[in-house]
Chain A
Amino acid sequence: MAHEMKMDKKNMVVVEGSYAVAHAVKTCRPNVISAYPITPQTHIVEDLSKFMADGEIPNCEYINVESEFSALSALVGSSAVGARSYSATTSQGLELMHEVLFNVAGMRLPIIMTVANRAVSAPINIWNDHQDSISQRDTGWIQLYAENTQEISDMTAQAFKISEDRDIMMPSMTCMDGFILSHVYEPLVLLEQDITDEFLPPFRPERILDPKNPMTFGAFADPHFYTEFRYQQERAMQNSLKKIEDVANEFYDMYGRYFGGLIDEYQTEDADIIIMAMGSIIGTIKDVIDHLREKNVKIGLLKVRAFRPFPAQAIMNVIKDAKVVVVLDKNISLGMNAGALFIETKSVLYNTDIDVPVIGYMIGQGGRDIPMSTIEKIISDAEEVMRSGIKIESQFTDLKEELL
């Protein structure tokens, strides 16, 4: 691959994933941070609070709000006056923001928010899956999913650059698996201030609330106008497809690190079986692939980094010649008995010449462990599909029948 990592061990430190994110946020020079604590996001906001207390984030205000609803609402105001604005949340907090999420995207405010992905209640559960952010799919936020702590740190700067682009002006969620990435200590390179100052220009939006040039934000649009607002949001999302790729490449040129643009690939060139997934499970899948490749199983990985905008073309290019595609989802669309990535992957193949079977597995719900053996089992199912066709299209993984 063209992107060979250039990471100097000398520059690596061992820090918690949350610290890496907080440090990255600080390095991006935010003007307003507003957040409300919720496990497993808390370490990020605590680290940012400490930076504030030590005077390490210049020209920045930290608003200790009374709820996530107000956290994001406050950023509507700050972003509208031209302040670079940041928040972090997860699960119940993200769901509480639902109404504001639409509002931010509709007003084209490029706010960045880290989501430390966690399951949603009931039953209440603090461990990782992707139900929280996947449930906000249609709110108009760009959604990027990170594989490891280095990636979520680097993605923070990328997200500001993507969102603040004049042709885009849409907010972004950078998603990291709760606990698995937020609480793990791993060696990484902290986002570099000098390079970031060059990579990420100051936030200078064209339209702000300013008494010298009064403008109206958030007007009432009747049916004559509403469709065009929605159309322009969709166009901005489509513009972001290229921007996400470009920014990842530019980041690589300047920092020497690359984790994919819209997607990333591993051992896909000759693969009969392609596994698709998002987030930290990618690491486990790569290990399984290494192991199976030794046994001559032709298997590869398609890592989906951008879930919104959905990288339909990039996905099709990778899977078009495969014999079977396996999609792993840490979420469920109840009543559809399937996960979102699976549903959408199938939907982009319809009306094309690509005729590859796709099977889906709902996996790791509420933080259930995903051992290599589970993925190996799924792959042997896929081999069976190659031999004799699909028997079960989409299913729960590692279901404990004895508990039902």
Chain B
Amino acid sequence: MKSISLLAPGHRGCAGCCDAMAAKFTLMGAGEDCIVVSPTGCLEVMTTPYPETSWDVPWIHSLFENAGAVASGIEAGLKALGKQGTKVIAMGGDGATMDIGLQALSGAFERGHNITYVCIDNEAYMNTGVQRSAATPYGASTTTSPAGKVSFGNPRPKKNMPAIILAHGSPYVATTSLAYPKDMIAKVKKATEIEGPTYIHCHAPCTTGWGFDTSKTVEVARMAVQTGLWPLYEVEDGKVTKVRKIGNNKKPVEEYLKMQRRFKHLFTMEGGAEEIAKIQAIADKNIEEFGL
């Protein structure tokens, strides 16, 4: 572990920002011999207000939906120029990864480029003001899926992005969480050392978008894992090789939901209890599937 962060302090994100933490842990795992691509989103905007930059590694932002393709080109360019050893990492939000950038990402993984993609999943489009994405969980209120008299918020469960990446035959797919920095750093290190396109999906609670105190990012993240709503696992060559057990520490989903403003309506609206039960069912299914 490096003592000096490759992401310099003084970025313009919110206090307790999830994207900044995720970027820092990623760089700790990758080391300094890397090139980073970030799509448009909070991380990009807050770290590179010209003429300043937080990045102590070479970094490029092109567009919102092309990080997978830009990373492909960097890898191909380095190869053609005979530059070996430099790791190519793309790091972007859930919107950039799972929605608008999915095609470019799929292409990069299908072609088998030697890159590592880190999805920083804060479960909505934060940079534009907390609109829903394909990663927004069931029942969350966002600015484009607001709770209202006839709505309990987002009507769909999260898209299973790691499974989509696995379908591409990726040699290494892992989930991680900001609550477990060591886990994240180790997984990034491993991913960047494995040849081929590897993927890490990081659950990253956003203080502003989810509505919790800026000091609680890690606590909220940990609760997601302890309820079973965010299982931590590794898949190598298509087989689940490691799972973080919760065992007797298992918490009911209410404890997670009530920490956050985006689920507040579930506790005040008539019929909210049934909605919470549906969310509990999602957690129970994860617990069963991964043997948490």
Contacts and interface: CB of A to CB of B under 8 A. Distances in A.
Specify whether A and B are partners. Answer: yes
B106 A214 contact: no
A233 to B, nearest CB: 15
B74 A70 contact: no
Given A74-B70, A220-B48, A82 B63 contact: no
Interface of B: 32-35, 37, 44-45, 48-51, 53, 55-63, 65-66, 68-83, 86, 103-104, 106-107, 110-111
A148 to B, nearest CB: 32
Contacts of B63: 73, 99-100, 103
Contacts of A73: 62-63, 66, 69-70, 73, 104
Given A211-B86, A222-B50, A77 B70 contact: yes
A259 B75 CA distance: 38
A73 B45 CA distance: 20
Contact of A31 (B58, B69, B80): B80
Nearest to B59: A216
A238 interface: no
A66 B106 contact: yes
Contact of A211 (B35, B48, B50, B62): B35
Interface residues of A, number: 44
B23 to A, nearest CB: 13
A88 to B, nearest CB: 16
B49 A219 contact: yes
B77 A65 contact: no
A125 interface: no
Instruction: Kindly list the 10 A-B residue pairs having the minimum CB-CB distance in the complex, ordered from nearest.
Output: A77-B73, A74-B73, A78-B77, A83-B77, A66-B107, A73-B69, A73-B66, A218-B61, A70-B69, A77-B74
Interface of A: 31-32, 34, 59-61, 63-67, 69-71, 73-83, 85, 99-100, 103, 107, 209-211, 213-222, 225
Contact of B60 (A74, A77, A220): A77
A76 B77 contact: no
B58 A78 contact: no
B50 A225 contact: yes
A77 B77 contact: yes
B42 to A, nearest CB: 11
A69 B100 CA distance: 12
Contacts of A76: 60, 62, 66, 69-70, 73
A70 B66 contact: yes
